[in-house]
Amino acid sequence: MILQGKTILVVNISGKRSTGWAIARSLAKQGAKIAYTYQNERFGSEVRQLFEPLDAIDVGECDVASDDDIDKLFKRLGDGVSIINGLIHTPAFAKQEDLSGNFVNTSRDGFKLALDISCFSLIALCKRALPFMEAHGGAVIALTYIGGEKAVKNYNVMGVAKSALESSIRYLAADLGSKNIRVNAISAGPMRTLAARGLKDFMVMYELIKEKAPLKRNIDPREVGDTASFLCSDMASGITGEIIHVDSGYHMIGI
């Protein structure tokens, strides 16, 4: 087990169909102790049930759009642990009306909201996690999508948020590298998650990528989880500032 003895915080798990849960399962399988959060009690009951078989730390609700909530999260975390070896960032959100139609019609409030939750929250979390990681190093991982690199129909403002997130990965990697903290992102192919339901014509995109990708299939959430486990492990000790694509190779073709 490549993560034996490590404690890793996974932020914003929303249920059994979330990428965060797939990552947490893989981390635990590799020996990590998981600390986890959920946005609010709407998700909390299901998430706690998922973690019942694991020796995990429930650090409760956290609205990543609130600095006060993030401060309280790390205070609760500090009551149980003094160090963490990894931080997994999964939050992403945009208004439904900003995920269809023309990007030019994005509202100012919608733009701010998408960038705040999907990008700035990573910076805010890293700042609070630093005292738990700086003495011994560790790994930070965020989730992104090819819509941050290319214009993807109906991804709209979320694509801009993911572009900002990917740029933030590089700046955070430069900032935190001297403390032996590695910062990377996983650009995953489309998966049938709760978040994907918010994208118009998602199944059209899902089937297209299965047809066009070099591996001729879509990915399984387990593959994202296993990539996260690798990036959190000492086996990835020389990797930082990278966007790792787990999308059956779709990102490299010209279609």
Decide if 72 contacts 23 (C-beta within 8 A): no
pLDDT tens by residue, 190-216: 887 666 666 667 777 788 888 999 999
- What is the value of pTM for the model shown? 0.95
pLDDT tens by residue, 142-194: 999 999 999 988 899 999 999 999 999 999 999 999 999 999 999 999 887 66
> What ranges in the chain are assigned the alpha helix state H?
19-29, 41-51, 67-80, 108-115, 121-133, 156-176, 202-212, 221-232
pLDDT, mean of residues 57-85: 97
Q: Count CA atoms within 13 Å of residue 206 on its CB side.
A: 13
How many CB atoms are closer than 10 A to CB 196? Answer: 15
Residues 6+ apart with CB under 8 A from 249: 213, 214, 215
Decide if 103 contacts 94 (C-beta within 8 A): no
Catalytic residue positions, numbered: 145, 155
pLDDT tens by residue, 102-151: 999 999 999 999 999 999 999 999 999 999 999 999 999 999 999 999 99
The pLDDT of residue 100 = 86
Decide if 26 contacts 12 (C-beta within 8 A): no
Domains along the chain?
7-243 (3.40.50.720)
